[in-house]
């Protein structure tokens, strides 16, 4: 597992998952901040310090992937609820939920120099993060990579992973854990059904 500069694994890295390509990694990283019971992972948006640590690391990966200057974004207590709400919306979108059509205002600056376009959020806090996250969602939707960013089909997991399979049919973030758990439950259910059929309850 890669460990970023300050020694803390990022939200996607702690799941042992590869980062989505280009700036889409930021969308994936935000979804993966959610806490998990097994393995016991805290919600990285639970308090300002852990949220800032997460954001600094996520922007470091974003900078490496996009080759753009790292935006300076700082988070305070009042940003956390909004980021968690943004995370829920993104998770719903990745899971294919239709949801209500919502317009997301962006505050972004573009620079066009030497044939290269770069962009940066102009707001701070949750506004800045949301602007960058929705921009990456838009870009990925246009390049066709957004459909490969998925959430694990195990509802107790929900990890965001980038599907690099040839036909784009991957549904588990890790087939050895979430996939096997699902298969085990399905085979137990089948055994129960066949036992009840063989010995019907009077
Ligand atoms: Zn999973």
Q: How many domains does the chain have?
A: 1
189 CA → ligand 1 middle, Å: 20
Structure tokens at 171: 């549904």
CA distance 121 to 137: 14
182 CA → ligand 1 middle, Å: 10
95 CA → ligand 1 middle, Å: 13
62 in a domain, yes or no? yes
202 in a domain, yes or no? no
Q: Do 19 and 1 meet the contact criterion of CB atoms below 8 Å apart?
A: no
33 in a domain, yes or no? yes
136 in a domain, yes or no? yes
3-state secondary structure of 93: helix
CA nearest neighbour of 129 among 170, 81, 93: 81
pLDDT at 88 over 90: yes
155 in a domain, yes or no? no
Q: Do 28 and 93 meet the contact criterion of CB atoms below 8 Å apart?
A: no
DSSP state of 7: S
Span 6-64, pLDDT tens digits: 557 799 999 999 999 999 999 999 999 999 887 889 999 999 999 999 999 999 999 99
114 in a domain, yes or no? yes
151 in a domain, yes or no? no
User: For residue 75, what are the domain limits?
Assistant: 13-98+105-146
Model-wide pTM > 0.75: yes
130 in a domain, yes or no? yes
């Amino acid at each position: 597992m890669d460990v970023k500069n300050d020694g803390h694994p990022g939200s996607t890295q702690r799941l042992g998952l590869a980062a989505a390509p280009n700036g889409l990694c930021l969308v994936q990283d935000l979804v993966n901040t959610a806490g998990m019971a097994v393995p016991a992972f805290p919600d990285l948006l639970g308090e300002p310090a852990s949220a800032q640590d997460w954001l600094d690391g996520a922007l470091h990966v974003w900078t490496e992937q996009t080759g753009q200057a790292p935006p300076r974004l700082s988070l305070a207590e009042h940003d956390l609820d909004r980021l968690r709400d943004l995370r829920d919306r993104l998770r719903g979108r990745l899971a294919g939920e239709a949801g209500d059509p919502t317009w997301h205002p962006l505050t972004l600056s573009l620079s066009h120099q030497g044939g290269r376009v770069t962009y940066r959020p102009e707001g701070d806090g949750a506004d800045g993060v949301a602007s960058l996250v929705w921009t990456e969602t838009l870009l990925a939707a246009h390049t066709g990579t957004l459909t490969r960013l998925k959430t694990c089909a195990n509802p107790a997991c929900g990890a965001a992973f980038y599907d690099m399979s040839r036909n784009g049919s991957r549904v588990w973030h890790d087939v050895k854990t979430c996939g096997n758990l699902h298969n085990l439950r399905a085979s137990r259910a089948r055994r129960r059904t066949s036992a009840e059929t063989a010995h019907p309850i009077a």
